[in-house]
Chain A
Amino acid sequence: MSREILQVSGLSMRFGGLLAVNGVGLTVKEKQVVALIGPNGAGKTTVFNCLTGFYRPSGGTILLDGEPIQGLAGHQIARKGVVRTFQNVRLFKEMTALENLLIAQHRHLNTNFFAGLFKTPGFRRSEKEAMERAQYWLDKVNLTEFANRTAGTLAYGQQRRLEIARCMMTRPRIIMLDEPAAGLNPKETEDLKALIAYLRESHNVTVLLIEHDMKLVMSISDHIVVINQGTPLAHGTPQEIRDNPEVIKAYLGEA
């Protein structure tokens, strides 16, 4: 298939005496949807935090397109095209949906102080383009009618969609979704599935996700990695994972 965009090997994260992640390896190919699953407390979110620079991993390498990114600060990794959503939605609640999307475009905008002060044509153009992009994505996630509402007043499912749209505004290569379907109803989960497929097909985005909804995971993932107690347990296609007795044991306990 296509080339490998993200290669993680031997990733470990230690908090004092606790080894939260131990030797996790992960290979993500371009335009793949890869799911990271495991029981609660397995260290999935810790892996995400290491990949996105929120934690500095204690060991291991992370290669993005062959370039090591472990140890870089969060915003630097985001600028390389790896953005994420959060398990508990982190929108700017006091700002409108539209403004949330404008913030995410910050580094693509004309931030020259004097250009903004005197509203130069270049500044106006850049603001207008940002508006149009925001509008496009609001439309894609069905939030156009809520554009001017403050994000905190939106319904939970809408907030989740807005967060994904906000990630897309940064023009990412890899988007990492931390439990995107948590708290969504079946209809919204279906919409999410369609949205993820759309991101991949039309915007060439690679998707890495943590999810507990097995139906969703099995139906959209190309590849699944299972983690248990910080250590990698299994990886393979959905079918392989489904039939793996180790995985079943980790999830259901021993018979």
Chain B
Amino acid sequence: MNKNLKPAFFSALLVWAVAFPVLGLKLSIDGISLVVHSQGSFTISIIAVCSVLMFLRVLFDRQWSSVMGRRSDRKLIPPALSNYLTLPKTQRWVILGLVVVALIWPFFGSRGAVDIATLILIYVLLGLGLNIVVGLAGLLDLGYVGFYAVGAYSYAMLSHYLGWSFWVCLPIAGLMAATFGFLLGFPVLRLRGDYLAIVTLGFGEIIRLFLRNLTDWTGGPNGISNIPKPEFFGLTFERRAAEGMQTFHEYFGLPYNSINKVIFLYLVALLLALLALFVINRLLRMPIGRAWEALREDEIACRALGLNPTVIKLSAFTLGACFAGFAGSFFAARQGLVTPESFTFIESAIILAIVVLGGMGSQLGVILAAIVMILLPELMREFSEYRMLMFGALMVLMMIWRPQGLLPMQRPHMELRR
């Protein structure tokens, strides 16, 4: 116990060091100068209680872990159920169920909820795309947001300068992003692991800075605004149509309701996400999907069998970028405005967090994680400045309890039938 005394004191001190400046002090403006106040005795006493608890926790570390150890023998989820949940077949049914729900509920949901759901779907799309690169091919890409930006700016610029519609630009944006993925992938993909991560991180930033400084074309930091929303077979969802166009509500003889537009955007996002789901599901069962898996496991063996590692990695990189391009052009259409500030590194980090949190390689996991990652900060708005703190705490707890991610998936194995 004496051995634990010193670390216990240190931990208690650490609680003070961390909590007091963050929670115990308050800044306020007095005239032109900043004044530091104490937060009052209640907060201070809470910190004191916490530090004492921490002290005892570390002091009686062995007793504590023996008690907890006995309890944690019982798993949170029984292994049989856990195994059942990670089977590809189960997850397919759950995804189907989710899709049905996703198709029906916006017609009953509130405007704000549908809007958030649309945002979630964008991140589902991005997560699924990055999942190809990170989860399936095992290439750590920290610059994924670059391709998202390429997609967004492709649509923004094509519509701004040439007046092309969303549905024409969508495949072009995907192709543009894929082309960028291909070109960037060439020099990058001979690197491995950490080095690859750093270089992709750099490329993501380069794309953003490039867009920011190409002022004549991209509007620099101001970005491009007034990007038109998608149309429904040539019908717009605005109150009044432009010259020679017709609006959705006039054509169908409905009263104008701005929620129609929101629901339509949601459905477009859902369509894109479903497309991504379908493609990835097929990819898993195609030779290229198997090759990604094999390459992740043993690159040397792959080369010895005549598989070209560069081509295989490049295909994963290009496909992943293509989905980011789709997501980007949809994002531009929904937002109506693109600026370089929407594509900072933190976006890449969030998308990567979705993939890792969901469980590498699992589509259902990505969907759940996207919901968690986007919805939680929205729900915790009332905790104002503490919400990022809670978010961080949640991530830490996640990694303690479910380090394999929310819902990892067992890969669908090819079976030999006898």
Contacts and interface: CB of A to CB of B under 8 A. Distances in A.
A113 B312 CA distance: 12
Interface string A75-97: 10011000110100011111110
Interface string B299-316: 011111111110000000
Interface in A99-113: 99, 102-104, 106-107, 109-111, 113
B279 interface: yes
Interface residues of B, number: 29
Given A92-B297, A106-B291, A99 B414 contact: yes
B293 interface: yes
6 contacts: A54-B304, A75-B305, A78-B304, A83-B304, A98-B415, A144-B416
Contacts of B413: 95-96, 99, 148
Contact residue range for chain A? 35 or more
Interface of B: 279, 282-283, 285-288, 290-291, 293-294, 297-298, 300-309, 411, 413-416, 418
B86 to A, nearest CB: 14
B198 to A, nearest CB: 25
A166 interface: yes
A147 B287 CA distance: 18
Contacts of A54: 300, 303-304
- A-B CB proximity, top 6 nearest: A78-B306, A116-B286, A74-B303, A147-B416, A90-B301, A79-B306
A170 B297 contact: no
B301 A86 contact: yes
Contact of B287 (A73, A74, A84, A102): A102
A107 B287 CA distance: 9
A155 interface: no
Given A78-B304, A90-B304, A103-B307, 4 more contacts: A75-B306, A92-B298, A94-B411, A169-B305
A163 B47 CA distance: 61
B120 to A, nearest CB: 26
Nearest to A118: B282
Contacts of A147: 416
Contacts of A73: 303
Nearest to B301: A90
B138 to A, nearest CB: 11
Contact of B303 (A75, A94, A96, A103): A75
A192 to B, nearest CB: 19
Nearest to B309: A75
Contacts of B294: 92, 95, 103
Contacts of B418: 144
A113 to B, nearest CB: 7
A131 B305 contact: no
B373 to A, nearest CB: 28
Given A93-B297, A106-B291, A147-B416, A117 B279 contact: yes
B301 A107 contact: no
Contact of A117 (B282, B298, B301, B306): B282
A83 B305 contact: yes
Given A92-B297, A116-B288, A78 B305 contact: yes
A92 B287 contact: no
B251 to A, nearest CB: 34
Nearest to A96: B413
A135 interface: yes
A110 B285 CA distance: 13
A52 interface: yes
A170 B305 contact: yes
A95 B305 CA distance: 16
A95 B297 contact: yes
Given A95-B294, A111-B287, A104 B305 contact: yes
B402 to A, nearest CB: 20
B287 A98 contact: no
Contacts of A79: 306
A103 B305 contact: yes
Nearest to B278: A117
B306 A170 contact: yes
Nearest to A152: B297
A106 B305 contact: yes
A138 interface: yes
Nearest to A126: B287
A170 B290 CA distance: 16
A90 B300 contact: yes
A116 B282 contact: yes
Nearest to A150: B413
A170 B283 CA distance: 22
B287 A106 contact: yes
Contact of B306 (A106, A111, A116, A144): A106
A52 to B, nearest CB: 7
Contact of B416 (A52, A53, A135): A135
Contacts of A74: 300, 303-304
A95 B300 contact: no
B415 A78 contact: no
Given A92-B293, A116-B288, A117-B279, A106 B307 contact: yes
A95 B289 CA distance: 12
Nearest to B306: A78
A86 B298 CA distance: 12
Nearest to B279: A117
Nearest to A130: B287
A96 B413 CA distance: 7
A20 B301 CA distance: 23
A91 B293 CA distance: 12
B279 A109 contact: no
Contacts of A148: 413, 415-416
B414 A116 contact: no
A78 B309 CA distance: 13
Contacts of A167: 305
